[in-house]
Amino acid sequence: MKRLFVFPYTLWLIVFTVIPIILVAYYALTVTADGQTSFTLANFRWFFEGMTPGEPFFQRLYVRVAMRSVYLALISTAICFVLGYPLAYILASKGFRNKSFLLFMFIAPMWMNFLVRTYAWLTILERNGLFNTLLQRAGLPQIDILYTDTAVLLGMVYNFLPFMVLPIYTSLVRMDKRVIEAAQDLGANPVNVFTRVVFPLSLPGVVSGITMVFMPGAATFIISNLLGGAQYFLLGNLIEQQFLRVGNWHTGSVVAVILMILMVISMAILKLVDRGQAEEEGARV
Amino acid sequence: MMHLKRFYLGLMLFFMYAPILVLMVFSFNDSRSRNTWGGFSLRWYVELFNDPHTQLALRNTILIAIFSTILATIIGTTAAVGIDKLKKRSRMVIMGFTRMPVMMPDIVTGLALMILFLFGFRIVGFGRLGFGTLLIAHVVFNVPYVILSVIPRLRQLDPNLYEAALDLGSSPIRAFVQVILPELWPGVITGAMLAFTLSVDDFMVSFFTTSPGVQNLSIRIFAMTRRGVDPRINALSTLIFVAIMLMLFIINRRDQRLIKKQQSEV
Amino acid sequence: MKKLIVLLALCAVMLGVAGCGDSRERIYVANWGLFIYEPVLQMFEEEYGIRVVYSTYSTNDELYALITHQGAEFDVVVPSDYTVERMINEGRLAPINWDNVPNAQYIGDQFKNLAFDPTNRYSIPYKWGTFGIVYNTEKVDEPVTSWSILWDERFEGEIFMYNASRDTIGLAQRLLGFSMNSRDINELHQARDLLIQQRPLVRAFLADEIIDNMINGEGSLGTVYNGCARWIIYYNPAHNFVVPAEGSQLWFNSMVIPRTSRNEEHQANAEKFINFMARPDIALLNTLYTRYSTSNIGAFEMLPADWQNCPIYWPNDEIMRRGEVFVDLGDFRAEFHQAWTQVLVAGN
């Protein structure tokens, strides 16, 4: 019985997860010249050194792209956490009768197309947009948000916030309430109950929230183009450019590999933070 | 304290719904502009009904979402049952690979699948990107979500249940369908709903795995964002949103208990 | 169990629905965004009983990558000059049988036999135009004559640049007095450095989004094609368009038939489509809607006089003389992409 179920799925995994990764790695490690394909590290050198020797300004050009991506993704993750944790906490707390409905309200926007939702921000943020009109009415100076990194961050937070809220909410709801009561009975004050008991127990949710927000942030190109006006060039932009404009799958694959390495690193770091949840497979998502 | 909580909740809801509100309002704008109000009009709704390209894209989106959800649910549920029975080490390996598409940025998933498809086509000598590859790609990124929703449910299952059914003379398939599946149902439904949501919302993976002849809504909208989104799309989004909200209210009123059971699994 | 059966039944029904598209022959067409009057496609469908599967792209590179790397099989596409040249050189285009395209007679002689396809064996001119600066006359109160105004610090945060490598590097090359088709690495790098120097003044690098932004008054200056400029001026008459004195590009977009696995069966349909698009009444609808200059003299003659005499719609000889048509750069393309990436990354 179990063979019957596992075997086809293993095959599925091999075809649609393992082989694609191997293919990406294959392209990253090869070059094609005159129809001949040979193994090389030149693509990685391209990424880490840039292609214009002797011009200091352009050295490590793509490393700078990677750093900018990581930097923006980190900030957006931090904002998502700061906004999302209290939100999940409130949603999970007693006192709201329609908890599930409220939670649903936060997921429902995802049913509207992400591009349309992101595009709608243009109307709000632009120079003559709604936000500036409001500022003007209030007698405040207007500010340029659209086509700045603030707009990009806002787009990331807006799109990825539910991915932070959901896992934290789940881990908070699943928490054994008796532990909290026990802590209270032992005389812990609310702050201590939170810092010593609730927060550590919700850590698996936080960790999966962080990975779910960080990675798409580091890889986006739509948000940086649409709201950032291509003012910032991110890893996602580089992939899109190499695959769809330059048409070089080898260099494009290198960037994909870099993103995968980034993913493995961030997962490993987070694993260190929250040990002992290896068995809690279900807590993710 | 309660007031503060309500205030914060309201603020966040406002943040989530502000752009949606904007695009809904502008769907009734007589002018094509994205920020100047030209008076109330239903012209974009009328144009939407006369726009075969957007309708086709919508149909593709819905078809892909339904098919990929059904397929991913079947594949994911059976796989979860199998995985649950594995020894710890092999389970860890399989789960590691299962989780990969969830963690992987979707641009990487998209291009990796594109490479896979094109490579495959070259080997077999025919085939090209289109509806089929789009569907497979959506199933691929949906399956893990179903598995991850079903597995916690399996954990709570009494392992003797299945054995008991077998002892009572049930065939393995029958035992699975009649005894195990009903127990898993809430997890399966959660997984299916997640899959449907992700499929409808996806742009990146679709972008890489379809050919220009087969557009879904995301891809059509992406083409539009470059030259200014047509208010027709606002009209369509408004209709979709109203439909979802209606559905939500009906479900909420009719069966609050069911949702509660589901969301404890999300 | 019942539910499962229902689900499977539903699945089967849906598959049926998906399977039964219409059985008419299909033709796959890809074109630039905003480059056709879409109802024209329905007219073609009704007249010939052939379904048009239509899609759009936004740069030549994107179209090229679709065809060569992603295996997209189009029957008709509309690349511009240097990409037509590249595709001819690489043997990616099928020759057009001109006997099947009698409407080619309406194409203006000045658009025929251009350097990228010297005998018009593979391509039929569709639209043409130039590239320049659109500016808001309420915010820019001096006559614009030179590309150098894009480097004027008074317009910091007011400038929209076109997010395409050849167009934007090309204008910097002209400002420096170089050819846009230069393969001199130093000239390329000088142009690149000039653009990097301009970065702090630029509000955003966009493509057709510049149209909406200019209409909404989000900036004072933008670099656009003349057709886009006419959109902007139509919706916001405070604008004007000039082709700077240093000269600019002249572009010619042509319909071509890429070689695909199904050329045999589709060639005739592709030629029907091309012939249909060259019919003066159809070309007229296209040019009136898109506001881009037509290559079809039959259509031009039917245009209202204010269109025919509009210097933006129909650039004068002076502009033509200063204009330069892009040439495919061959291996130098890689350097070009690299330089363009450097310009974009310089903002990080």
In 3-state terms, what secondary structure has residue C118? coil
Whether B258 shows a pLDDT value over 80: the answer reads no
When CB atoms are compared, the residue of C65, C217, C348 closest to A244 is C65
Within this chain, do residues C238 and C332 fall inside the same structural domain, yes or no?
A: yes
In 3-state terms, what secondary structure has residue A62? helix
**What residue numbers bound the domain in which A234 lies?**
69-283
| Contact in structure between A128 and C216 (CB atoms under 8 Å) | yes
Position A261 in a domain: yes
**What residue numbers bound the domain in which B74 lies?**
54-226
When CB atoms are compared, the residue of A120, A174, A252 closest to B20 is A120
Within this chain, do residues C205 and C286 fall inside the same structural domain, yes or no?
A: no
Q: Do A245 and C61 touch (CB under 8 A)?
A: yes
**Model pLDDT for residues A135-184, shown as the tens digit of each residue:** 999 999 989 999 999 999 999 999 999 999 999 998 898 888 888 888 88
Lowest mean pLDDT among B41-50, B103-112, C106-115, C258-267: C258-267
Burial class for A282, CB neighbours closer than 10 Å (0-12, 13-18, 19+): buried
Q: Do C18 and B63 touch (CB under 8 A)?
A: yes
When CB atoms are compared, the residue of C65, C206, C213 closest to A247 is C65
Cβ contacts (< 8 Å) between B106 and chain A: which residues?
A: 216, 219
Within this chain, do residues C152 and C233 fall inside the same structural domain, yes or no?
A: yes
Cβ contacts (< 8 Å) between A144 and chain C: which residues?
A: 157
When CB atoms are compared, the residue of B181, B211, B215 closest to C72 is B211
Q: Which residue on chain A is closest to C344 by alpha carbon?
A: A233
Position C6 in a domain: no
Spell B235-248 as b/e; 16+ CB within 10 A means b.
bbbbebbeebeeeb
Q: Do B105 and A263 touch (CB under 8 A)?
A: yes
**Model pLDDT for residues A215-265, shown as the tens digit of each residue:** 999 999 899 999 999 888 999 999 999 998 888 899 999 999 999 999 999
**Model pLDDT for residues B105-137, shown as the tens digit of each residue:** 999 999 999 999 999 998 998 888 899 999 999
How far A154 CA lies from chain C's nearest CA (Å)? 17
Q: What is the pTM of this model?
A: 0.89
| Contact in structure between B179 and B161 (CB atoms under 8 Å) | yes
Q: Total domain count for chain C?
A: 2
Among residues 227-246 of chain C, which lie with CB inside 8 Å of chain B?
235
Q: Do B211 and C71 touch (CB under 8 A)?
A: yes
Give the amino acid at C32.
Answer: W
Q: Do A231 and C64 touch (CB under 8 A)?
A: no
Position A32 in a domain: no
Confidence band (pLDDT; 50, 70, 90) for B85?
confident
Confidence band (pLDDT; 50, 70, 90) for B220?
confident
Residue A30 in contact with partner chain B when CB distance is under 8 A: no
Q: Do B22 and A91 touch (CB under 8 A)?
A: no
Position C149 in a domain: yes
ipTM: 0.87
Within this chain, do residues C116 and C56 fall inside the same structural domain, yes or no?
A: yes
Q: Which chains lie within 8 Å of chain C at 3 or more CB pairs, if any? A: A, B
Phi-psi region of A92 (alpha: psi -120 to 50; beta: other; left: phi over 0): alpha
Within this chain, do residues C195 and C278 fall inside the same structural domain, yes or no?
A: no
When CB atoms are compared, the residue of C65, C334, C345 closest to A61 is C345
Q: What is the pLDDT of residue B147?
A: 94
Position C10 in a domain: no
Within this chain, do residues C275 and C328 fall inside the same structural domain, yes or no?
A: no
Position C14 in a domain: no
Confidence band (pLDDT; 50, 70, 90) for B222?
confident
Q: What is the pLDDT of residue A271?
A: 78
Position A49 in a domain: no
H runs (alpha helix) in C91-247 = 165-175, 185-198, 209-215, 226-235
Q: Do A12 and B75 touch (CB under 8 A)?
A: yes
Q: Which residue on chain C is closest to A57 by alpha carbon?
A: C346
Q: Do C204 and A231 touch (CB under 8 A)?
A: yes
How far C4 CA lies from chain B's nearest CA (Å)? 9
Within this chain, do residues C103 and C223 fall inside the same structural domain, yes or no?
A: no
Give the C-alpha separation, B14 to B12, whole Å: 5
Q: Which residue on chain B is closest to C39 by alpha carbon?
A: B51
Mean pLDDT across A189-213: 88
When CB atoms are compared, the residue of A64, A128, A147 closest to C204 is A147
- B207: Cβ–Cβ under 8 A, 6 or more apart, which residues? B110, B218, B219, B222
Q: Do B111 and A113 touch (CB under 8 A)?
A: no
Position B27 in a domain: no
Q: What is the pLDDT of residue A266?
A: 87
Query: How far from the centroid of its chain's Cα atoms is residue A120's Cα?
Result: 21
Q: Do A123 and B145 touch (CB under 8 A)?
A: no
**What residue numbers bound the domain in which C211 lies?**
129-250+315-345
CATH number of the domain that residue C160 is part of: 3.40.190.10
DSSP character at residue A142: P
Confidence band (pLDDT; 50, 70, 90) for A3?
low
Give the C-alpha separation, B102 to B108, whole Å: 11
Position A258 in a domain: yes
Cβ contacts (< 8 Å) between A230 and chain C: which residues?
A: 163, 204-206, 344
Q: What is the pLDDT of residue C2?
A: 45
CATH number of the domain that residue A179 is part of: 1.10.3720.10
Cβ contacts (< 8 Å) between C345 and chain A: which residues?
A: 61-62, 64-65, 233
Mean pLDDT across C107-136: 95
Within this chain, do residues C149 and C124 fall inside the same structural domain, yes or no?
A: no
Give the C-alpha separation, C246 to C132, whole Å: 11
Give the C-alpha separation, A260 to A182, whole Å: 43
Q: Total domain count for chain A?
A: 1
Give the C-alpha separation, C314 to C320, whole Å: 10
Q: Do C64 and A246 touch (CB under 8 A)?
A: no
Give the C-alpha separation, A271 to C291, whole Å: 58
In 3-state terms, what secondary structure has residue C28? strand
How far A52 CA lies from chain B's nearest CA (Å)? 27
Give the C-alpha separation, C265 to C263, whole Å: 6
Within this chain, do residues C162 and C243 fall inside the same structural domain, yes or no?
A: yes
Position A255 in a domain: yes
Q: What is the pLDDT of residue C15?
A: 46
Within this chain, do residues C226 and C327 fall inside the same structural domain, yes or no?
A: yes
For residue A72, CA distances in Å to A83, A217, A218, B203, C184 come to 16, 7, 7, 21, 37
Within this chain, do residues C121 and C137 fall inside the same structural domain, yes or no?
A: no
Q: Do C202 and A231 touch (CB under 8 A)?
A: yes
Q: Total domain count for chain B?
A: 1
